Structure formats: C-alpha cells, structure tokens
Structure 1
C-alpha cells in the first residue's frame, strides 16, 4: 500500500506503518503549529500526542544567561552540567583514563543520556553516573535504535550474497528501501523482499 498524505492518516497506528524522515516530520509539525525541533524520536512523540488530541506547541526561547563553567579538574563526582560536558577530546581523554580503553568511544546511550541531562537541567548527574551508563550499570535515557532502520536495512541487503548481481549495491538498496519506506511493508530487509522486487531494481 502506497504511503498516504499525512492529513489523510486516521491515527498513530496507521502513521507508524510508514517510514518518515526527520525533515518530513519537521514539515508536518510546522504545518500543524506543533513543536518542530529535536531528534526524530522526539518529533515522533509530538506526532503521537497530536493523534491523541494533545498539541505540543513550540517552546518559547529562554533568555536565561548561560552559567560560566568554573570546574577545571574532572573527577567521577564532577557534575555533568557543572563541567560543561561535551563529547570533545577533554572528556574522551577523561573516560579513556577511567576505562583504561585506548580506543574509548562514547556509546549511543551516553549521548542520549547527556542530552536528556542537559535538557532537564539535572545538576545531580555526575561523570561517574555517565561512566555507569557506559558499563550498562545504570539507565537514564536510552537511544531508540528504531531510528537506525535504514542502516540495518543496507547492512542486511549487502550481507545477502544474492545482491551481488547489482553493480551498485547501495543504489539498489536505496531503490528497494524507497519502495519499503513508502509502503506499509515491514521496514526490514529480507531475501523474499529482494525476490519480489528484483525486476524493478535490475
């Protein structure tokens, strides 16, 4: 089934059958006078609220002065907000020392958590808490992995040996994804899906 226009969709369940890019969600929210900022997950929540009769309106810009960062020495007890936490080298080096991992990388749950802490203004949350998030000892905010549907689709497409018939696999994957995205088909790659639409892709 072809994806309908947003205004002809009756409820959130029907809306979820289709894949929407973040840019499309922003346009939908703006067109309906809703909050149109944030991640794709946040925008989906705005749309969900809209279908249940609640309007999440755009936030008024705060004119509060930014606090000056005074923390110079980082410890596990240092507040995330107090030290002006970013995902830059200073903090990567700190976590590299704490974990003793030479190639330390922030994971997606750390990113989601830091964003949530800053948005809520939670001054009690520390770098030690963020380390616990890294090790999976605590949960604060988790990254919604459904936002990675396209990545998984391409990975699974390329892993299927049958897709070796395409000179440009990525183009073929994108063409197949477009069919899936604009329909109510499950947003996952399968060999059966390839067989069904191979004639269009060749």
Structure 2
C-alpha cells in the first residue's frame, strides 16, 4: 500500500510515476510535477475518480508556419511547439536554426493549465526575454531536484549510508529554498548532524 511517507522518501522516475497513476486510476499524462500532484492528492484523501487532468491535450490541427503571427493565441488555435513554430521563431529572430527554451514549454503548460485564452505568441517571446518569470514553480523545482540527485550520486560518499535517497532528500530539503541549490560534497559536512542517523556505522 502506497503511503505519503513512502512516497515522500523515495525518488521516482517519470515512468514510475506514470505506472503508479495507471495502477490507481489517476491521469497518467503530464510532467513529473503534475503526476506528483495527482498522486499526492490521492494520498491526502481525494478519490481517484475526482482527480482530473491539470491540462487538456491539444488535439487540434497544428498551425502551419504561414498561419502563425505575434497575435496567434496559444490556446484553442492549433499552435504547438513543433517544427512549424520553430520555423516561425527562426524567421522572427533571423536565425538559421531555433531551439525551444524550457521557459517556453513551461509557459505553454501554464497557459493550458489555467485555460488562459488571452496568451499569444507575443507572450512566449516576452518569456524568452525574461525567463525568470516562470522559474519559481513546482515543475522547475522537480528539475532542480533531478539535477541535485544526479550530482549527489556522482559523489562516492553516498556509499557510506544505508539509505542514500533519504540523505539526498534531507540535504535537498535543507538547501532547496536557496537560490543556489546545487549538490556539492561540502553539504555532507555542513549538514552532517541531520544525516548521521543514516550512516552505515551509526548506532
């Protein structure tokens, strides 16, 4: 039986979260942050049948490059972050190639989640110029945790602990609210009183 304590103290890949969502009859599409949200709602007592997808899938015909302009709505228009949109932005910025930025994808998901029918392509360009507007959200924190955990396991010091994932979670909790929350070995020393209980030779 899945519990809040178990869920909060273990790391799950996106595929794991999708499998859990399918097992319990929850929406199984979306970002890791969205899947986490569905599972936590269930663990806090919301019935699976009452948990609805945070975003509706865009099933409209995709707009062609020639149909996109600054005033194109991001919602209910057929606009998608695909090759046609890539061509549009490459032409707009006078580039031979254009690569979508993470901030653009986050903005698109926010538009879908909030059913924002006023947002336009112009707003995506504004986000490119000021990406910090979308940094402080649950999805970004998911990415930061992933990076933190990846770097944590690159440090052989994790092998000194019985439950490394709990050590990583404890260190992450201690630093996640700071602007610089990357993992580095010095955290093991700085926060040793918090993690010593997980040491292999702890008594």
Q: Same fold (TM over 0.5)?
A: yes
Which structure 2 residues correspond to residues 175-190 of structure 1 after superposition, within 5 A? 180-181=164-165, 184-187=169-172, 189-190=183-184
Alignment correspondent of 2:73:
79
Q: 1:70 to 1:82 in 2, by over 3 A?
A: farther
| Residues 85-132 of structure 1: per-residue CA shift (max 9 Å, x gap) | 233333223223444566643221210222343455544321001111
Matching of residue 29 in structure 1 with residue 24 in structure 2: no
Q: 2:121 pairs with 106, 127, 130, which one? A: 127
Deviation at 1:41, TM superposition (A): 0.6
Q: 1:150 to 1:179 in 2, by over 3 A?
A: farther
Matching of residue 15 in structure 1 with residue 7 in structure 2: yes
Q: Which blocks of at least 5 consecutive residues in structure 2 are unaligned?
A: 173-181, 190-195
Q: Which blocks of at least 5 consecutive residues in structure 1 are unaligned?
A: 1-5, 164-171
Structure number with the bigger relative contact order (C-alpha 8 A, sep ≥ 6) is 1
In the alignment of these two chains, the number of paired residues is: 177
Deviation at 1:154, TM superposition (A): 3.8
Deviation at 1:68, TM superposition (A): 7.7
Q: 1:22 to 1:174 in 2, by over 3 A?
A: farther
Alignment correspondent of 1:144:
139
Question: Which is worse superposed, 181-190 or 40-49?
Answer: 181-190
Q: Is the 8 A contact 1:34 1:55 kept in 2?
A: no
Q: 1:102 to 1:75 in 2, by over 3 A?
A: same
Alignment correspondent of 2:177:
none
Alignment correspondent of 1:112:
106
Q: Is the 8 A contact 2:158 2:164 kept in 1?
A: no
Q: Is the 8 A contact 2:70 2:121 kept in 1?
A: yes
Deviation at 1:48, TM superposition (A): 1.7
Which structure 2 residues correspond to residues 163-202 of structure 1 after superposition, within 5 A? 180-181=164-165, 184-187=169-172, 189-191=183-185, 193=188
